[in-house]
Structure 1
């Protein structure tokens, strides 16, 4: 079964693991844009990570990971909602040249000024309510290193991430040590060595095995002696939430004067979605209607500046 997310609970060790294996959903992301292979690899790892992190959402809405870079990649975005609908995009520097052997640091943290932000965006935000944003400097030499540092700094959760991707598959495994207080009291004795043992087990995972093995089989291979409790598998899918209405609201924020300037040079304003390549065309009459209809823009307010941890 493809595009699956599997969650395991290691009660005695107070640990949780998420495993994800994306093929069809990831290939839709790949097919929407012709990214160089090193860029594609980094984006696939981010997509796998966003899918696993979104599994813990306690509200209807989305989790968005943004990496702002100072190399050939200016911006990486991976979004996954509470239904496991995912999408992703990359913005490259103008005239960017990507060597075949470029790694994460070369691409986004060439001078050490890259940052990682995670945004939690409830679907039904109240007027004036901004999404939660946390931001930390990029750390280490990979997507996994940077997200592990984020979780340690922002969420105070020990986290081990293994991320791999190629043209066909994006795969991830995330192990987290959960707080031992609160919740249901376990009838099993606490295993103080559990975290170290589980970390050692997942560190045996090789790239080829990770990309070619479905989540159910991989869980059996890695944890067959651990007897974890498994939650129901969930299916991920590609899902872009762009719409003509949302694009119209965005155009209103530009102001009528700027739209008039654009329409003085071209008969229409053309907007293409960065995530799915859908094209939205607005004539002068369409643009005038956006302002005469007095649209309600309360749901599209700008977020507050991110919280720095």
Structure 2
């Protein structure tokens, strides 16, 4: 059984997931080709760079919005201004501006490596579903992507008091969030992953600044998504888990545990945007046969 283990010692965000999967052997050319099926390629550019975080060489993935290339400080987060810095000051190097559904500028101190403050029109949950369904992906890729978006949409709807069909994603609907979520599904299929397990999820501490004001970490939507999932204590100030990262594990992980017994075949590190003094801001994925 080919198993992937998310070692989330520094949290998780959408862009960190993509970076780690590429670092572990995912094909960036295949990823870019498959993403073109969404017919959104005129809205973004993808970058993959090797960076060193506190001594660990890792892959930094960024979604640069075409309209923002000259105006954004892509500290980039995922998706969230994306599961990427989403206007979060993600201390994560996730700079997601989670605005899933409502412009939550989660100052994610996640620094999800996506530091975008997207000015794109909000996309409704219904439109995102149509976008993914019309792309012609395999049942597995389509199913995973739709389930992750639904998880975020349900959380946003509950927090804001609106029905799922009425949820509009500012952050999650942003291009980088769509890229992170669909991209993760594409790479997991390409890497032929049969089973996914994960460590408990550290969410960070402190407060974040979002569109609605100053919120405690984890942000309400992130906490809602992580309902029933083991959360790990963390002394790091900032948001370590973004809505997109939380939704990916909430939907795809079948067991939260310590590293399982396996014959390790590949290891990947996905970098966040921020850099902490004594803490490598990276997500580690370990792939092997159980």
Question: TM-score w.r.t. structure 2 length?
Answer: 0.25
- Which of 1 and 2 has greater Rg? 1
The structure richer in strand per residue is 1
- Of structures 1 and 2, the one with the larger relative CO (CA 8 A, separation 6+) is 2
Question: TM-score w.r.t. structure 1 length?
Answer: 0.24
